[in-house]
Structure 1
Amino acid sequence: GIPSLASSTVALQRGIGLDTGVPWGGVNDFYRLVNGAQEEIAADPGERFFYNNAAYRMLGHVIQEVSGEAFHEYITENILEPLEMKRTTLIREEYERDPDRMIPHWKKPDGTIVPTDFPYPNVVDNPDFSFIAAAGGVISSVTELANYLTMNMNGGKFGDVQLVSPDSIEKMLTLHIDRPPNHYGRYGYGYGWGITQDFLGHKMASHGGSILVSTAHLAFIPELKIGVAQAANSAGLQYQTIAEGIFTALMGMEPEKALPALGIRERMEKLTGTYQVYKGLAIVKVINKAGLLHLEQKNHFTDIVVPLIPEDDTYGSLRFYILTDGVRQPVEFDVDPSVGIDLYIERYRYHKTS
């Protein structure tokens, strides 16, 4: 049980010109960060599970040591070339030579989006530290990522080449560690894949990741042999929900009715907006911030933003509460299609105006 050591935070911030104060020049710097975190161990092995980018980098180092090759060379020879992923690379120079390459974009907290460089160092400049790319350092396209999905859906085979044994693929797609349930019930981690045990009657495997200036997400349903590859040159979209929406459409269902996440977002969207009391003497806004409704009030005397905590996690109820010093303050919406939406907070009755 080692919580995240933020090794990716160091790599990504340095890559866009920010200094974390943590040395990051090679293998020794990486293990100095990892081995210096002994006091961060939170549980014995097997007791708790944390996804950990530093652990994937250590696995990459294992591959490097066992194979005797730099990590990027081994991956290219044993995965990318057999899968005919000709544009896919871990080498910065190859990416920069591609005339049709994506331009990474950094979305800042204030909402502005600016072009930036790919933040990972060029692995050929320091082959011993090539395994830094084991977590987020592969640059690909959705067309070639589809080849990787095809191999996983075909029991480890792509064309006439058997890259991975069917038994290994089966183990990868077996839920080994339970995590908090998702909208569909049991959810957990296999080997390199997140496993939703019952997505509308089928097992679904998925995995995504972002380096903040680019993002990728893969998902597939083994039984149906359908998959979705997504890639973007920034971060912040709901890739998992997009994949699930595509799956439901391919399965002949209506995504808006079949996917709980879409229903929740629709119900949240209905409640967001500006609310006023009688004569407009008090005004508040209901906003969606990071997937949770918040109440915002700004005037000459007040400047507050507080979360509206739903009594029903699926937003099936219109009852919420504000938690202040451990005390709940009820908040309730009243939706009347013929009149509009009202908001009740203590003695105040607000009417939605926009």
Structure 2
Amino acid sequence: MTADANLLTGFRLRNAEQHLGAYGIHVHREGHEPVEHRFRADDRVNIYSGSKTFTALAIGIARGEGLLELDDAVAGYFGGVPTAAGNESITVRDLLQMSSGNPFNWFELPDDSPTDVAATWLATEPVRAPGELFEYSNASTYMLGRIIHAVSGQDLCEYLVPRLFDPLHIATPQWFRCPLGFPQAAKGLHLTTSELARLGRLLLQGGEWAGTALVPADYVDAMHTDVVDTSHHGDDPEATAGYGYQVWKSTVDGVWRVDGRYGQFSIVFPAQRAVVTITAHNEKVPLDLLRAVWDEVLPRLG
């Protein structure tokens, strides 16, 4: 790691000069030892919407196990729950791409949330056809988590422990839960920077870890190639480059990322065979952390 000490010098200076709020940065490059710099202890922190990518991987694993298909109707997993007209045509893929057309987004704090988020979502009339428009939605991801429970009999976290968390050596993962006790799925998973970095490395490796395929490779590929348009989603170019299966495309060609509120990122660089992972607390412009990576780290990845 000493030979690579200058790899993060520019990022460290940028973090200080622009007050970017980084907690830590971790760089994985195939064929190299990892390089990491801590701005504070590597404690577990809320990775916010970085949680969504773990939920998407659960869907990919379940599909590989023959428990579901991406074009299945969501309502079919919730038999007997009152469903508004139009919701019956929304598919699992629509939830993954956040283009369901259902306006119930569930961004409220848990204390203000309905008791059963899934029932509320199903009862809410869609405002547009599925697949027509991307609209960022915590409820879409939460519904994916509930589908995992419906097909497996286990809640999302229980399902992922032997299939993903244990192989990645993420012990006793803590995940905030909804009023009914299910993992929030869209948010609330707590990880260290180095634990989040293992997710990025798994994605770089096409779902393989230590010689074992944890997630089907074709699904991991589709996560960042089956992309919907987000050009209407704000003014920042990093938010308008496209959205896949609970991951974002980036402005750098071929690069895609796990992305959580306040600057929780695990960024996949396929051409460089590298992953850059950051945890942070930046309430102003967290996407500036990405630009610091493009300017200060990417040119040194080789």
Bin of the TM-score, shorter chain as denominator length = 0.5 to 0.7
**Counterpart residue identity of residue 122, structure 2:** N
Aligned to 1:75: 160
Compute the RMSD of aligned alpha carbons: 2.8
Distance 2:139 2:102 in 1: 10
Distance 2:129 2:264 in 1: 32
Distance 2:275 2:231 in 1: 24
Distance 1:32 1:252 in 2: 48
Structure with higher RCO (Cα < 8 A, 6+ apart): 2
Whether contact under 8 Å (2:102, 2:128) holds in the other structure is: no
Aligned to 2:141: 56
Aligned to 1:2: 101
CA drift of 1:186 comes to 7.2
Distance 2:167 2:114 in 1: 36
Q: Identity over the aligned pairs, expressed in percent?
A: 21
Distance 2:155 2:268 in 1: 30
Equivalent residue in structure 1 for 2:257, among 198, 206, 227: 206
Name the TM-score, length of structure 1 as normaliser.
0.50
Whether contact under 8 Å (2:106, 2:137) holds in the other structure is: no
Distance 1:3 1:191 in 2: 17
Whether contact under 8 Å (2:263, 2:289) holds in the other structure is: no
Whether contact under 8 Å (1:147, 1:158) holds in the other structure is: no
CA drift of 1:137 comes to 2.3
Distance 2:123 2:206 in 1: 40
**Counterpart residue identity of residue 30, structure 1:** V
Whether contact under 8 Å (1:175, 1:195) holds in the other structure is: no
CA drift of 1:87 comes to 5.7
Higher helix content, 1 or 2: 2
Question: C-alpha offsets along residues 40-76 of structure 1, whole Å, 9 cap, x if unaligned?
Answer: x221112222121111111111111111212221122
Distance 2:202 2:227 in 1: 21
Distance 1:151 1:160 in 2: 11
1:184/1:150 CA distance change after superposition, 3 Å: closer
1:31 aligns with 2:118: yes
Whether contact under 8 Å (2:103, 2:124) holds in the other structure is: no
Equivalent residue in structure 2 for 1:195, among 232, 249, 259: 249
- Give the secondary structure class of the aligned counterpart of 1:188: coil
1:222 aligns with 2:270: yes
Higher strand content, 1 or 2: 1
Distance 1:162 1:242 in 2: 31
CA drift of 1:153 comes to 0.6
Aligned to 1:47: 132
CA drift of 1:188 comes to 0.9
Name the TM-score, length of structure 2 as normaliser.
0.58
Aligned to 1:165: 216
- The number of residue pairs the alignment matches comes to 198
Whether contact under 8 Å (1:149, 1:227) holds in the other structure is: yes
Bigger radius of gyration: 1
Structure 2 alignment gaps of length 5 or more: 1-99
Query: Where do 4+ consecutive residues of structure 1 move more than 6 Å?
Result: none
